[in-house]
Amino acid sequence: MDPARPLLEMRDVTVAYGSHPVLDGISLSVGAGEIYALLGGNGAGKSTTLSTLLGFIRPTAGRVSVAGFDPAAEPDAARRQVAYLPENVALYEHLSARENVAYLLSLSGQRHADAEIDQAFAATGLQSDAWDKRLGGFSKGMRQKVAIAVALLRHVPVLLLDEPTSGLDPRATGDFNRLVANVRDRGAAVLMVTHDLLSAADIADRIGFLEAGHIVDEVAASGPDRFDVRALHHKFAAAPAGAMAA
């Protein structure tokens, strides 16, 4: 793959169900070592964007590339380049944190020694006394740390996050954002779809505003304060009600 080419790219992508366009000419790109936050309310097209990047939905028009692969034409090859963290992480209650990580990695054909898994858990901040406990009693924040440990160990170039801070308290959100920043710093392209403006402003390099299936504005971080959060909030809150509160 051309190193100058974005790791994630959508160009003029349309997805329609019958005569109703869900994505309407969306274009975005995310480069290596970059976090892009895509903000939008219910019905804006965030989930469809992720499903298209994962190859679950074939676009009606436009071009999609994930680490050089078309996820609709080459879904297996494209998904091997991606670690995906859904809003509700699918982990196994009856398995320990370590067993979950080992099993999920084995599904992608990878094996890691216990010492490597321990290092990943330590990096996420998961307390060591939880590593070999069953997940049945874990909080959402602890589950997110197990899932991000999988992402860290997979060493893939793309990380997709779906509402990753939903339901997390401020401390857990801060911990999670630091983990995502670490993934970015090692050269991954990170796309985070969210309605959490503060979390996006905390770590994103660029923020795109999604309304009715297309990006209506995009803001890049700059200066010591990175973003004018008050201005971003005004922009976000001023979106059409049908796009942001459906």
Query: What is the per-residue pLDDT across 16-43, written as a single tens digit (0 to 9) for each?
Result: 988 889 999 999 999 999 999 999 888 8
Please state the rounded mean pLDDT for residues 159-176. Answer: 85
Please state the rounded mean pLDDT for residues 130-159. Answer: 88
Mapped onto helix, strand or coil, the DSSP state of residue 198 is helix
Query: % helix / strand / coil in the chain, to the nearest 5?
Result: 35, 25, 35
pLDDT of 143 strictly over 80: yes
pTM of the model: 0.86
What pLDDT is recorded for position 240?
A: 56
pLDDT of 223 strictly over 70: yes
Q: Report which listed range, 76-80, 87-91, 230-234, is most confident.
A: 76-80
Q: Which amino acid is at 160?
A: L
Residue 27 in tokens = 């274009």
What pLDDT is recorded for position 124?
A: 83
pLDDT of 246 strictly over 50: no
pLDDT-based confidence at 244, cuts 50/70/90? very low
Q: Kindly report, residue by residue over 37-61, the tens digit of the pLDDT.
A: 999 888 889 999 999 999 999 999 9
Q: What is the mean pLDDT of the chain?
A: 88
pLDDT-based confidence at 241, cuts 50/70/90? very low
- What stretches of the chain adopt beta strand conformation (E)? 8-17, 20-30, 34-39, 61-66, 82-85, 158-162, 189-194, 206-211, 214-220
Cα distances from 122 to residues 99, 170, 174, in angstroms, run 16, 20, 16
pLDDT of 242 strictly over 80: no
What pLDDT is recorded for position 210?
A: 93
Beta carbons within 8 Å of 212's beta carbon, 6+ residues apart: 24, 44, 45, 240, 242, 243
Please state the rounded mean pLDDT for residues 9-20. Answer: 92
More confident residue, 229 or 246: 229
Beta carbons within 8 Å of 161's beta carbon, 6+ residues apart: 85, 180, 190, 191, 192, 193, 194
Please state the rounded mean pLDDT for residues 114-137. Answer: 90
Greatest Cα-to-Cα distance within the chain, rounded to the nearest angstrom? 54
In angstroms, the CA 186 to CA 148 distance is 14
pLDDT-based confidence at 209, cuts 50/70/90? very high
pLDDT of 167 strictly over 80: no
What pLDDT is recorded for position 1?
A: 44
Please state the rounded mean pLDDT for residues 196-216. Answer: 92
What pLDDT is recorded for position 82?
A: 92
More confident residue, 233 or 77: 77
Give the number of other Cβ atoms within 10 Å of residue 193's Cβ: 25
